[in-house]
Structure 1
């Protein structure tokens, strides 16, 4: 790797405001606000609205769309047509 062209990576705390969960990871992002972590050290903190702790896909609370029902509803409303090209 070439020296002096890559951004500095540092430990940063990301705090999910919706779930009340925080996790420490490395990032190039920086913040003026700091928080004291479980190890007693102070790290920059970045507040996020959604993370894997609160996103419906990862928590298992996402809704599955009934695509087969939508297709049938479309066919009832507009009818079916013959396949194109045959």
Structure 2
């Protein structure tokens, strides 16, 4: 494997401002801004728009589409007869 071609892999804080949620993980992303974490150290911070704290799928606010009956609804709307039954 070639040396000196890979970016530095280090601790980074990702912050979801809409949900007031932050988490510390490791990443190759960099940032000029830093934030003091709970352990007292300074880490680069990257602001993100969506995290598990604000995504509708993870928070339970997701809407479920009712797919049952779509074919019947289409047939009622456009007057198509139901499929013939084989003898």
TM-score, normalisation: structure 1 = 0.83
What corresponds to 1:64 in structure 2? 64
The aligned residue for residue 22 of structure 1 is 22
Deviations 1:20-58 (A, max 9, x none): 000000011111111000000000111111101110111
SS at match of 2:71: helix
Q: Which of the two has higher C-alpha Rg? A: 2
CA distance in 2, matches of 1:70, 1:82: 15
Give the aligned CA root-mean-square deviation in angstroms: 1.9
Give unpaired runs (5+ residues) of structure 1.
Answer: none
Q: Following TM superposition, where does structure 1 have runs of at least 4 consecutive aligned residues deviating by more than 4 angstroms?
A: 80-83
1:9 match? 9
Deviation of 1:69 (Å): 3.9
How many residues matched? 83
